[in-house]
Each structure stands twice: as C-alpha cells, then as structure tokens.
Structure 1
Amino acid sequence: MSRKQMHLATILSNGLGLPYAWLEPQVDPADYANIHALVRYAKAAERGKLDFIFLGDFLAQSQRSEAHAPGQTLEPTVVATAIALATDRIGIVNTVSTTFEKPYNIARVLKTLDVVSGGRMGWNAITTSAPHAAANFGRAIDDRETRYAQADEVIQIVQALWGSWQEDAWIADKNARRFTDLSKIAPVNLRGTYASSRGPLEIPPSKQGQPVMAHAGASPHSHALAGRYADILISEVFTIDEARHQRESLRRAATAAGRNPDDIKFFAGVIPTIAATPAEALARRGRLVEPDIIQQVHYLGRLIGLPLGPDDLDTPLSAAQLSAARANPGDPRSFRALEVAREGWTVREVLHHAVIDFHPAPIGPPEVVADHMQEWFEAGAADGFWVTPDIYADGMDAFVDGVVPLLQQRGQFRTEYEGETLRDNLGIDHQYGLRQPHSKP
C-alpha cells in the first residue's frame, strides 16, 4: 500500500501578497492588476505539482488605508480562464457566492470553465455575510439560517443542471443526422423557496464530469453544508488541536449526511516567510508587520492579558509581566504569542513573528516550513495545506523550489501529477449531477 501523502494548494488574490508586500523593492505595484503576473505564479505552482490554485473573492471594498493594498482585484472567473489556458495539470478552485449569484449562471460559467480547462475546475460555494457586499447588489444581508438554506438550494440546482446533459447524450452521428440524443438532455424543473431553474444546461461533461465542490468556513452551518456537498474544506485554524477539532467536526457532518468522511479533504492555511537564515526571514516578515505595529501591540496585550502599548515595543516582557501573562482561551493565536514572548524576544519581535496573522506563519529557511507542514500532517490535523506566499514576486518560487523538494524527499508529497484532472490529483471519486438523492428544494 502506498504511503498517504499531503495535498498542496496556493491562493492567488491581489497579485502582490500580504497587504504591504507592494512596498518591497522586488515588487512591481502594477502586478495588482497584471494578469500575466498571476499566470506566472500559477505556472510556478504547477511546476511544484500543487493540486490547485484557490481564487478567493470578496464582493466589496477591502482596502483599510492608503498604504494597505486591497485583498482582491481581478474578477476570479476571468483569472481562472487565463490560468486554465496557460497551464495543463494544476486545478483551479473558483469562489462564487450562493447569496448573490443565480444557479443557472453559476452552473453555466463553471461547467464551461471545467470543459475549457480539461476537467480542472472546482467551485468554492460560499455564503456572503458582509453588509457592504450586499449593498453592492442593492440588498440587505439575510440571517445565517436563510443564507445557508439558500446555499443548499443553489448547490442542488447547480449540480442538477450539471447533470442535465447526460454523459452519453452527445452522439455526433453525421450519417444518422443525430447531434445528440435529446431524451438524455432534460430540464431539471427545480423550484425552491430561494432559487429555481428549469434547465437543461447544454454543456457536455468535462474530462472529470463536472467541477469539484469546495467550501470555506468553520461554523457548524459551514460544516453541515460541506458535509453534504464538499470534496474540499478550506479552513482557518491556528493550532494543531484546533485543526483536529475542526476536521473531526467536518467528518461527523459528512457521516451524518451519509457520506464517507474520508471523501472530504481538509485544508489548513499557512503563510510562510522563507529566507536563507532565520534572521533574514524574521526581518522580511517584520517589514510586512511594521505598518500595523501600533494596532497590533494593543491587540497582543489583549491576547495575553497584559496592558501593552507602543512604549513596550522595544523591550522583552519582564519576569513579572510573563508571570502575570495568560493566554486567552477564546483565541488560539494567544498560545503561540505567549510561547514566542517567553523566548525572550522584544515585543516588536514577537509581533514580527506574525503571531496575530489569521494562519500559522512558519518563518525561516525552507526546512522550517516543511517541518511545520509535516508535523501537522502526521498529527492528523490536515489532509493538505493552502499556502499564501507573503510576497508573490519571490515567495511563490521560494516555496516551490525550496519547500516542495524537501516534502518530496521525505515522501510527504507527490513528484508527478496522478492524472489530468483535479479529481484525479485529489483522489476524488467521479460525480455527475447531484451527489446523492436529495429532496427537491
């Protein structure tokens, strides 16, 4: 039996990296809107045999200040098209909101991309909860129960539309003058409380049948939705214990939905900073933290139960402060923050360790990042990782050329793609149409 190996993905957002990456000398700020830069990073990820590129989306303004780069720029469907035409094996998981998009449009666009890419597309089906995003659609945000009930209906309709052109419906028999067998292309006629569609969708299956399903979220509602439909869960966890807890919650949801929990891949996030030495890596990450250092020092104080401010930045915590410090059990980042503080770093250096980031941040030579991922994987905390380079301009290559070979040498990651489609490379079973019988929405 072959040894189980981890899966790897990366995220492309604004073409730059973390919010202040654009200030670094190696970065061209014009990459914010440069599709060629995004394609270049996608090709690097494919060179590293990564499973897929994750294209997030946020439907409103994300820029916090004039120095802070927005988190999202070009529309993901357009980006996915460019990447699909420039690559051969790497998958592309596209985020589309079930809150604001109609199921027929979702089904049509994503299945088209799946055909165009040769069976390499996935759909990150999410709900949208930001009021300023709703305002862009002339709407208000519904309550969570309504949003997830709507998502359930939209996903069912989309998958039904994907299967409305049956897999053997395309005949293309010139002698018989039969392009298709119309008995195998039928309306879905689904009507629910929040969404409906007649169908059918006149797009044949791709090489993998239809797109892979993904979901991003950590709430019980998210896990229930993912348990019913997802092949991939994109998570936001900071410790091994938290990741195990989330992964087990997801597996229980899959079991409750009548599925094999092994069929859903749990991806944990990581934001590495890679350099030749630990000191160089810490200095690099520190430059990306400094613009927010004043806000972060106050937040660090709340994490570890101390009244910290700008005057505390350039000295280590005293013995009395360390004795009084307590990790906040409501925020898993606090345990790492206190651990780093106890190593004797100044408060500024503690923050340079990215202890307030929304994902773990291994900082150092490639071995440090590989060790982090191997530890989590072997601890059963994740089936794979989605990697956010700190600075795209050189961070993607640093991961692909530095970390990936180490994981391959250790037998933790593939050396070649398993197949041509995203399902092949993730080891996901074939699906066409709805995953399993559901009541109509």
Structure 2
Amino acid sequence: MPSPDAPQILLALQLANGYGAQPGAWRMPGTDPSAYTDMDVLVRYAQTAERGKIQLIFLADTPVLDVDLEQQAPHHATDPIVVLTSMARSTERIGLVATSSTTLNEPFTIARQFKALDIASHGRAGWNAVPTSIPAAAANYGITLPSRQDKYERAHEVVQVVQALWGSWEADAWVRDVEGRRFADMSKIRPVNLRGRHVASAGPLAIPPSEQGQPVIFQAGGGDAGLEVAARYATGVYANPFTIDEGRAHRDALRAAAERVGRDPDEVKLFAGFMPTVAASRRAALDRRRILDESVDLDQRVRYLGSMIGLPLTPAQLDEPLSADQLAAARPSPGDPRAPHALDVAQEGWTLRDVLAHGVIDYHPVVPGTAADVADHMQEWFEAGACDGFSLAVDVYADGVDTFVDEVVPLLQQRGLFHTDYEGTTLRDHLGAPAQYGTDPRLS
C-alpha cells in the first residue's frame, strides 16, 4: 500500500447532457427522459459525486447541435454556466469546471461569467480554455474559423486578458465602510487597458475575489500549440491517451513544457479520459453495454472495427467471433492507437457484438467489469505515471454515478490511492494549486 504521503488520484466527473456518456443512456431503465432540462436531476448527480469526494464536475461544451435528435439526446448541457450555478447552490465542496471557447467568446464575457460562478460557489470554479475547431459552431456565432495559428494566438491573448480582468479588483479593495459611506477603494479597482492582435478589454471587472481568489484554468487542446497553452496557464489538463505509454509521454511532455516557462511541473495535473461500466461481472457489464449499443449504428461500427484490425468485416458476423483464418490475417492499424486493444479483445474469442460492447472504438479507454476491474485499471495507469487522475465518462448517470461512488471509490481508498475527505474548501485546495490572483508573474 502507498505511504500516506504518496500522491493520490484526482477525479473529475463528466456530466454533460443529463443522461450519460453513451448515446443510448437516455433510454435506459431508471433514467428520467427529461433530465436534459431538469436541474434537480443534474444537481443530484453532483451531490452524489460530492458524497464520493470526487474533486470536480466537468462540463465539456461545443455550442452546436451535432446529433440527430430523432434518436439521440444532445451531447452537451443546455448551458454550462447555468447548470454549474444550479449545482453550486446545492453543493459545498466539489469543484465546478466548464468549457468556454476562446475562439467564440470575448474575454470580458468569460471573465465575468466564471468569476461570478466562483463567487457563487465560494471559490470552486474552473474554466476550460480551449479554441474551437468545428465550423458549424463558428457559424452559430456568425464567423468562419480562423487558421490554427490565429486560433492559438487568440487563445493566449484571451487567457491573459481574462486573468488580468480577474485581478483588476484587488483583494482588499472592497472596504464596505458604512459609517464612512465608502463602498470600495477605487484606487485598487483599476482598468487593465489590454489590446492584442485579436482581443482587447479596458476593464476593470466589477467583481471582488472569491475564497480562492479567481477560477482555476483547465485546458484540453492537442498538439504543440495546445501543449504550450496548457504549460503556461493550466492547472488541469484533459487528455485522451489510449495506452499507458501514450499517457506517460503526454504527461512527461506537459511537465517539461511547464518547467521551461518557469512553473513547477507538479502544478500541472493530467486527467486521462476513462469510461467505466461497473457491474457484478464482466458478462453483466457487457450485457449492459449491449443494451446501450441498441441506439448506435452497429452495422457501421462493425465495418469500422474491420478497418481497425485489417479485415473486411460485415454485419452478418456480428454474433460470431473471428474465425481462425481471420485471426491469423488480422493486423492492428498503425494509425489508430485503439487498434491493438481491439484485436486483443477479439482474440479472446468474443462475438463481434461483444467486442464492440467492450468499447474498443469509444473515444476513451473503456473497462466493462467489476468495481475491482475498474479500480485495477486506474491503479495501473496512475502508478505507471500515465496520468495524475481521471476524467470519468460514466455510461449511464442514473445508476452509474452511485455505483462508482459506492463500489469503486471505497476500493481506491482502501488501496491508499484516493483521499477520504476534501483537503480544503476550494477547487484550488482540491488540486494543490498555488495561490494566484491576476496574471501569473512568472510568465513574460
């Protein structure tokens, strides 16, 4: 068992549309079909996560309708800030983090919304600062997507202006002197007057500091440009590695980049995306996922699986395993990091329907199995240095969040891998992030 002073796993729970990470979650028994707009349901999930001492809720967001609503629920929340504010008023400790695009939003709007959330939650807010890469989302704002270089130049400018605005009302400016008829010290509430190539703001922001000063910054971009944003500003970084080696390489690169710009690499925490399905057995977990798969196009998925492992698969073979000849001919696609795992699962003799139920083509690693199976995966990745924690995309929120909290969390705690209570009251406390108010003075 790790020593009491050993690092421990950090957990973020993704709560998006009110249903779950799988497309069929809205149709599952026990799920409220109206959960998409029911704040009480969403708040209950946040309260369950808080009961499990999970460090934060994360709402990803892309402001565009990207599914066919005839059969699927929307991917994202109605509005992340509204949902998190609802959660803030009914929870006490758990962090509240949402995406707001640096491409589509002006820095003053971001600064105002997230600092107001930080005040409302008593210092538990975080902002996931990412550019947008989807043309349809840009069209909703009446713009076309800029080049990648311009998007990331703008991202740097937006973060810097937002942080300057957050710090424009100094910590002791709010005097509230009733006898002296003095509300605040205006010498300590000053404009920022920043102008870059892409964005500008005069300021100041008329909101005082929260209990943690200002929101914590997260990042979820890829490539060298995304790594640079993360290294300079982020405390939490969302990543999508499919193997331990991928995760370790990403985390090592992130830590090295943070050190190059003058930050302590321990300040930057990598959250690996993870999709657990917890049940009494592996077979029961696969059966659960097979029901969820009734809402997806399995004909298309089985053909895609074939491209991953180098075989011309058809829907006619869905309920059969690969033949001996197919197994001999199968080769994992070198361009898809999920392919070796997909082939490993197929070689165990499962039908193709069950291979797909293992989540081999999902957007995060999937573990369908017992609570111990899920905890084993998390322990292996964490102890190998592949991540600092996990961003959990639970299959069905209605029962899956409670199951994770009641069955997986205690195992992690027994193994000394996860805390038994919050170490403080703010998100900055939960992540061990240093105090910061305004821009980081270490960065030029």
TM-score, normalised via structure 2 length:
0.97
Residue 368 (1) aligns with residue 373 (2): yes
Which residue of 1 is the match for residue 303 of structure 2? 298
Unaligned runs of 5+ in 1: none
In 2, the alpha carbon distance for the partners of 1:406 and 1:343 equals 27
2:390 matched residue in structure 1: 385
Task: Indicate the residue corresponding to 2:431 in structure 1.
Answer: 426
1:119 alignment partner in structure 2 = 123
2:86 corresponds, among 82, 86, 90, to: 82
Q: Which residue of 2 aligns with 1:244?
A: 248
Deviation string 1:67-104 (CA, Å, 9 cap, x unpaired) is 22221131001001100001000000011111111111
Question: Are 2:19 and 1:16 aligned?
Answer: yes
Q: Which of the numbers 326, 332, 342 marks the counterpart of 1:327?
A: 332
Which of the residues 57, 70, 75 maps onto 2:74? Answer: 70
Measured after TM superposition, the shift of residue 269 of structure 1 is 0.9
Cα distance in 2 for partners of 1:189, 1:437 equals: 21
C-alpha distance 375-437 of structure 1, shift in aligned 2 (>3 A): closer
Structural mapping, 1:209-358, within 5 Å? 209-290=213-294, 291-358=296-363
| Matches of 2:69 and 2:438, distance apart in 1 | 45
2:410 is equivalent to residue 396 of structure 1 = no
Which residue pairs with 2:190 in the alignment? 186
SS of 1:147 mapped into structure 2: helix
Between Structure 1 and Structure 2, how many residues are aligned?
Answer: 439
Query: Deviation per CA, 1:206-261, whole angstroms, max 9, x where unpaired?
Result: 00000000011222211111111000001112111111111122122212222121
Whether 2:364 is the aligned partner of 1:359: answer yes
For the residues of structure 1 that align with 2:8 and 2:41, how far apart are their CA atoms? 30
Distance (Å, rounded) in 2 between the aligned partners of 1:2 and 1:437: 28
- Percent identical among aligned pairs is 55
State the alpha-carbon separation in 1 of the partners of residues 273 and 323 from structure 2: 33
Structure 2 distance, partners of 1:248, 1:373, is 18
SS at 1:242 equivalent: helix
Following the alignment from structure 2 to structure 1, what is the Cα–Cα distance between the partners of residues 225 and 333? 25
- Mapping for residues 92-103 of structure 1, pairs under 5 Å: 92-103=96-107
What one-letter code is carried by the residue in structure 2 that aligns with 1:268? A
Letter in 2 for 1:115: I
Bigger Cα displacement from structure 2, 423-432 vs 240-249? 240-249
Structure 2 unaligned residues grouped into runs of 5+: none
What secondary structure, in the 3-state scheme, does the structure 2 residue paired with 1:208 have? coil
What letter matches 2:12 in structure 1?
A: A
The worse-fitting range, judged by mean Cα deviation, of 290-299 and 418-427 is: 290-299
State the Cα distance separating 1:25 from its structure 2 match.
Answer: 2.1
Quote the offset at 1:331 in angstroms: 1.1
Please report how far the alpha carbon of residue 65 of structure 1 lies from its aligned counterpart in structure 2 after TM superposition: 5.9
Q: Once the two structures are superposed, what CA deviation does each residue of 1:180-206 show, in whole Å capped at 9, x if it has no partner?
A: 222211111001111000111121110
Residues 119-146 of structure 1: CA deviation (Å, up to 9, x unaligned): 0000001111111111111111111110
Mapped to 2, the partners of 1:40 and 1:65 lie a distance apart of 25
**Rounded Cα–Cα distance in structure 2 between residues aligned with 1:142 and 1:225:** 17
Paired residue secondary structure (1:233):
strand
Distance in 2 between the 1:312 and 1:242 partners? 32
CA distance in 2, matches of 1:145, 1:199: 27
User: Where do 4+ consecutive residues of structure 1 move more than 4 Å?
Assistant: none
